Chain A
Amino acid sequence: MIRELVLKDLKIRYSRPAIGFFWAFLSPLLMVAILYLVFSVILQVKIKEAPFLLYLMSAVFPWRFFQDSVLSSTTSLVDNKNLIKESSIPQYLIPLSIVLANAINFLPSLGILLLTAIFYLRGLPFFIVLLPIILAIHFVATMGISLAASILYIKCRDIKYILEAVLQILFYLTPAFYPLSLIKESFGPAWFTVYTHNPFVGILNLYRLTILKGFYPALKGAGAVSIFLVPLGFAIVILALSFSYYQKNKTIINDYLSY
């Protein structure tokens, strides 16, 4: 059933546009192209650790997966209310299917990222074997937030706009297009520790560790705990919390939806 739901989502997304699934490659590339133009060509931002294009891609692609999942899951229960009210499927399958569809959507851009990395850096770091685990952490965290957001949205329709703003802030709080060392230099080591404990920064760092050769020096000063355990713990806790929230609310979801 989950397979049918995911397929439905992908088909709806790509069946009408003329070049269909090709957009899954094109649209992240376009976004990176724009950011590259603004920050590298116009603003002349320099990154020591890696080529700027790669640095940008490694942040933007995973972030797009996260942001798209959360934003489209938020309204998913409401969008699919007929489906929920008329069948006996557990409601959490709806946001889950959306996150899965976005994950599949993310794979092509991940492929582009890997190919670009191999091309620029002539090979991948040893840590690449950890990539599946990192994808799993990223997926779990995304799922947790998406599920909670979708339930909150049926109770309070303001959530959608709040989330849009919050995600924007979070994006600028992650070192997507500025060097990590900038934080250390401008705000001092104490703030740097706080900064790297942001789980979203953590997840991004994990991606960079596994894909970008020569990225490790940038993380000097941040312990192994904050690099790996913070995102992992965050992902598990957020999923557990939102699932228990779901369990508590699942009987009244239909009542809210019929309003």
Chain B
Amino acid sequence: MHAVPAIIIQAICKKYQLMKPASRSININFEALWALNDLSFEVRRGEILGIIGRNGAGKTTLLNIIAGALSPTRGEIKVHGRVLGLFSLGVGFQDELTGRENIFLNGALIGATRKELEHKLDAIIEFSELGNFIDMPLGTYSQGMRLRLAFSVIVNLDFDILAIDEVLAVGDTLFQSKCFERLSEFKREGKTMVITTQNTAWIERFCDRVVVLNHGMLVFCGAVAEGVAKYQSLLSTEKFFVAPVENSPKLIENTKKWSEDMSDWGKQLGTKEVVIESVKLTDRFGFMCDKIKTGDFLKIKVHFNARNVIKAVHFGIAIFRQDGVYCFGPNTVFDGYDRYNIEPGRGWFALAFYRVVLAPGEYRISVAIWDKNEAIAFNYQSGYYRLTIEGPHIRKKELLSMPYRFKPGSFLDKIDLPWAIGVLDHNILNEQWSRHIDSDQVVLESLKIFGAHNKETVILFTALPAKITINFSRLPVPRAGLYIWIGIYREDGIYCQGMYKKLKKDKRFSIEFRRLLLLPGSYNISVGVWDNAQHSFIMHHHGVYPLRVVSDRGHHGTVYLEHKWSWSLPKYK
């Protein structure tokens, strides 16, 4: 075994600047998109590493960085040996030039010398099986022929590391098997390969290890079988019309369904074998409402009409924030109910939330009647209904306001500050994960998290008590305008809740949650000491303290709301 890895990737991030389409001026406004976010892993010498992930997960960007076509915005990559990359359909292929001329152009662009190419020319042409077409302009080639040419150039050159991007699907089966043969040959020769694909069968057959990416983040790096399972569970929780993995008795570690495709909002989907006839939102007194206060009762009642005998239905309701953040999406299966068969006729189901602890703002509600596997909706009204939640303070950027208590502390300690809106804009902070601002005046000794039985842990359970203890060894002298702020963020940067406290003499205090209303997933805690006079943080540790939440149920979303289902199904007449 070789001691030195072929590729070492350390904390690389890649930011793309997205131009706002409307702009025409020279000074264009850019929006940042983090295509890769803090990835670290190694590729061992002589192994075949598969990279899988959904479209837009950052696979191609990562491969481009490995091949040297892009440089990371942050972080470092070390590559030992000569890398060749096979992207799309051949770098710099020109339709006007012949296949032969393109071999030289493409070869030069990926770093081969003319001498090397001349030497290998016959082998390349032979491997490509293009025959007389080699002297025809590339414009006359089919996609498969282009791929064959591009692939032939690559595999006939000398390299240590080969990076291949989702292209092998193009060729015909015969050529594909020839490619596999060639790749296996490379494997025996001990060459390193990095391959992205959607084809998990391919990965299982060919790769030694696998990296799973999701939204630019590394979800998994390790054994193939486990990685593929992880990827498939990602697919099932993120897409609607794909059957999820069967419910397992295991603890759910991550709901992963964190955002919603808003393009469907306002649409009716499904087979319409059952039709949703009306949806009513009512308050605790049974009055219709579309506005409630934070912490209020809310009941959503859905009347439906079944046209056929339908087997194994279940009901689901989901709440989204106006910007697409998935707040909470319970359904009757998650909550442990059986699936029922329905006779034709009218019926209703209802979901009551005892305390809607969502932060003030605008929300959307989706309602669905599903079949057994959630593969087909009978009727699915996506983002159809609007709900406004009002509160004493508008904290736009937060997601929920679960009840909590500072200890020691009084009711008066708890404050909502106007600065919290402007300063803690998560868009700004998101780019500064794990930023540290320290000063002589403040020393944070420790931050500890305690679970249900007052046991120290970083893994908490949904809907059970939790406590965060913060211990400063040095604090500035208390004066007006100094505040301590603790923020909880989802791992993708969504600001869940902020808690504020006037800075007092106590160097040690805790925040207690009677019930932790967060759904499974990874979260980060931030701590800051804010000086309102200076309008800046004296001390700020952003997203430094990790927190995991698990649950025994697979609710979708981020926020757990206590709720109860009820229904009346159509009776056989």
Q: B139 → chain A, closest Cβ, in Å?
A: 11
In the assembled complex, which residues on chain B have CB atoms less than 8 Å from the CB atom of A1?
A: 108-109, 111
When C-beta atoms are compared, the residue in chain A nearest to B113 turns out to be A1
When C-beta atoms are compared, the residue in chain A nearest to B110 turns out to be A87
The A1-49 residues at the B interface (CB cut-off 8 A) are: 1, 3-5, 7-8, 11-12, 15-16
In the assembled complex, which residues on chain A have CB atoms less than 8 Å from the CB atom of B28?
A: 155
When C-beta atoms are compared, the residue in chain A nearest to B20 turns out to be A259
CB contact under 8 A between A11 and B88, given known A4-B105, A4-B108, A89-B109 = no
Interface of chain A, main secondary structure: helix
Interchain CB contact under 8 A, A155 and B26: yes
In the assembled complex, which residues on chain A have CB atoms less than 8 Å from the CB atom of B114?
A: 3-4
When C-beta atoms are compared, the residue in chain A nearest to B104 turns out to be A4
Interchain CB contact under 8 A, B68 and A86: no
Give the 5 A-B residue pairs with the shortest CB-CB distance, closest first.
A4-B108, A83-B92, A255-B17, A88-B68, A259-B19
With most chain B CB atoms within 10 A of its CB, the pick from A7, A12, A83, A88 is A88
In the assembled complex, which residues on chain A have CB atoms less than 8 Å from the CB atom of B69?
A: 85-88
In the assembled complex, which residues on chain B have CB atoms less than 8 Å from the CB atom of A15?
A: 96-97, 137
Interchain CB contact under 8 A, B16 and A255: yes
- A105 and B108 CA atoms in complex are apart in Å by 22
**B94 beta carbon closer than 8 Å to chain A:** yes
CB contact under 8 A between A87 and B19, given known A4-B105, A155-B26 = no
Interchain CB contact under 8 A, B91 and A86: yes
Interchain CB contact under 8 A, B30 and A8: no
The A64-109 residues at the B interface (CB cut-off 8 A) are: 80, 82-83, 85-89
**B332 beta carbon closer than 8 Å to chain A:** no
**A156 beta carbon closer than 8 Å to chain B:** yes
Interchain CB contact under 8 A, B101 and A8: yes
In the assembled complex, which residues on chain B have CB atoms less than 8 Å from the CB atom of A89?
A: 109
C-beta contact mask, A166-191 vs B, less than 8 Å → 1, else 0? 00000000000000000000000000
CB contact under 8 A between A8 and B26, given known A1-B108, A255-B17 = no
In the assembled complex, which residues on chain B have CB atoms less than 8 Å from the CB atom of A12?
A: 94, 96-97
**B265 beta carbon closer than 8 Å to chain A:** no
C-beta contact mask, B508-542 vs A, less than 8 Å → 1, else 0? 00000000000000000000000000000000000
- A11 and B101 CA atoms in complex are apart in Å by 9
Interchain CB contact under 8 A, B91 and A256: no
- A252 and B96 CA atoms in complex are apart in Å by 29
Interchain CB contact under 8 A, A16 and B96: yes
Q: A116 → chain B, closest Cβ, in Å?
A: 33
Task: Out of B19, B101, B109, name the residue touching A83 (CB < 8 Å).
Answer: B109
In the assembled complex, which residues on chain B have CB atoms less than 8 Å from the CB atom of A5?
A: 105, 108
Q: B199 → chain A, closest Cβ, in Å?
A: 22
Interchain CB contact under 8 A, A86 and B94: no
**A254 beta carbon closer than 8 Å to chain B:** yes
In the assembled complex, which residues on chain B have CB atoms less than 8 Å from the CB atom of A254?
A: 70
12 contacts between A and B (CB under 8 A): A1-B108, A8-B92, A11-B101, A15-B96, A15-B97, A82-B92, A85-B69, A86-B88, A86-B91, A88-B67, A88-B68, A256-B19
CB contact under 8 A between A156 and B109, given known A8-B94, A11-B97, A88-B68 = no
- A258 and B67 CA atoms in complex are apart in Å by 18
Task: Out of B67, B71, B97, name the residue touching A251 (CB < 8 Å).
Answer: B71
When C-beta atoms are compared, the residue in chain B nearest to A2 turns out to be B108
In the assembled complex, which residues on chain B have CB atoms less than 8 Å from the CB atom of A7?
A: 101, 104-105
- The bracket for how many chain A residues form the interface is 20 to 34
**B87 beta carbon closer than 8 Å to chain A:** yes
Which B residues are closer than 8 A to A by beta carbons?
16-19, 26, 28, 30, 64, 67-71, 85, 87-88, 91-92, 94, 96-97, 101, 104-105, 107-111, 114, 137
Interchain CB contact under 8 A, B97 and A8: yes
With most chain A CB atoms within 10 A of its CB, the pick from B67, B68, B85, B105 is B105
Q: A81 → chain B, closest Cβ, in Å?
A: 11
Task: A3-B108, A4-B104 given; name 14 further pairs at CB < 8 Å.
Answer: A8-B105, A12-B97, A16-B96, A82-B92, A85-B69, A86-B64, A86-B69, A86-B87, A87-B69, A87-B91, A88-B67, A88-B69, A89-B109, A254-B70
In the assembled complex, which residues on chain A have CB atoms less than 8 Å from the CB atom of B18?
A: 259
When C-beta atoms are compared, the residue in chain B nearest to A156 turns out to be B26
When C-beta atoms are compared, the residue in chain A nearest to B21 turns out to be A259
Interchain CB contact under 8 A, B71 and A83: no
Q: B382 → chain A, closest Cβ, in Å?
A: 30
When C-beta atoms are compared, the residue in chain B nearest to A157 turns out to be B24
- A88 and B19 CA atoms in complex are apart in Å by 23
Q: A157 → chain B, closest Cβ, in Å?
A: 9
In the assembled complex, which residues on chain B have CB atoms less than 8 Å from the CB atom of A252?
A: 17
Interchain CB contact under 8 A, A255 and B30: yes
Q: A252 → chain B, closest Cβ, in Å?
A: 7
In the assembled complex, which residues on chain B have CB atoms less than 8 Å from the CB atom of A88?
A: 67-69, 111
In the assembled complex, which residues on chain B have CB atoms less than 8 Å from the CB atom of A16?
A: 96
Interchain CB contact under 8 A, B109 and A87: yes
In the assembled complex, which residues on chain B have CB atoms less than 8 Å from the CB atom of A155?
A: 26, 28
- A11 and B104 CA atoms in complex are apart in Å by 13
Interchain CB contact under 8 A, A83 and B97: no
In the assembled complex, which residues on chain B have CB atoms less than 8 Å from the CB atom of A82?
A: 88, 91-92
In the assembled complex, which residues on chain A have CB atoms less than 8 Å from the CB atom of B64?
A: 86
- A86 and B68 CA atoms in complex are apart in Å by 9
Task: Out of B67, B71, B87, B109, name the residue touching A4 (CB < 8 Å).
Answer: B109
- A46 and B68 CA atoms in complex are apart in Å by 60
- A256 and B19 CA atoms in complex are apart in Å by 8
Q: B240 → chain A, closest Cβ, in Å?
A: 29
- A92 and B158 CA atoms in complex are apart in Å by 27
CB contact under 8 A between A83 and B91, given known A3-B114, A155-B26, A254-B70 = yes
In the assembled complex, which residues on chain A have CB atoms less than 8 Å from the CB atom of B107?
A: 4
- A98 and B101 CA atoms in complex are apart in Å by 18
In the assembled complex, which residues on chain A have CB atoms less than 8 Å from the CB atom of B96?
A: 11-12, 15-16
Q: A249 → chain B, closest Cβ, in Å?
A: 12
- A15 and B105 CA atoms in complex are apart in Å by 15
In the assembled complex, which residues on chain A have CB atoms less than 8 Å from the CB atom of B137?
A: 15
Q: A26 → chain B, closest Cβ, in Å?
A: 20
- A1 and B26 CA atoms in complex are apart in Å by 32
Interchain CB contact under 8 A, A87 and B92: yes
- A1 and B107 CA atoms in complex are apart in Å by 9
- A83 and B108 CA atoms in complex are apart in Å by 12
CB contact under 8 A between A86 and B92, given known A1-B108, A251-B71 = yes
In the assembled complex, which residues on chain A have CB atoms less than 8 Å from the CB atom of B16?
A: 255, 258
Q: B40 → chain A, closest Cβ, in Å?
A: 22
C-beta contact mask, A223-259 vs B, less than 8 Å → 1, else 0? 0000000000000000000000000000110111011
- A7 and B70 CA atoms in complex are apart in Å by 25
- A219 and B544 CA atoms in complex are apart in Å by 74
- A156 and B104 CA atoms in complex are apart in Å by 33
Q: B323 → chain A, closest Cβ, in Å?
A: 24
Q: A256 → chain B, closest Cβ, in Å?
A: 7
- A1 and B108 CA atoms in complex are apart in Å by 5
In the assembled complex, which residues on chain B have CB atoms less than 8 Å from the CB atom of A86?
A: 64, 69, 85, 87-88, 91-92
Q: A224 → chain B, closest Cβ, in Å?
A: 40
With most chain B CB atoms within 10 A of its CB, the pick from A15, A86, A156, A255 is A86
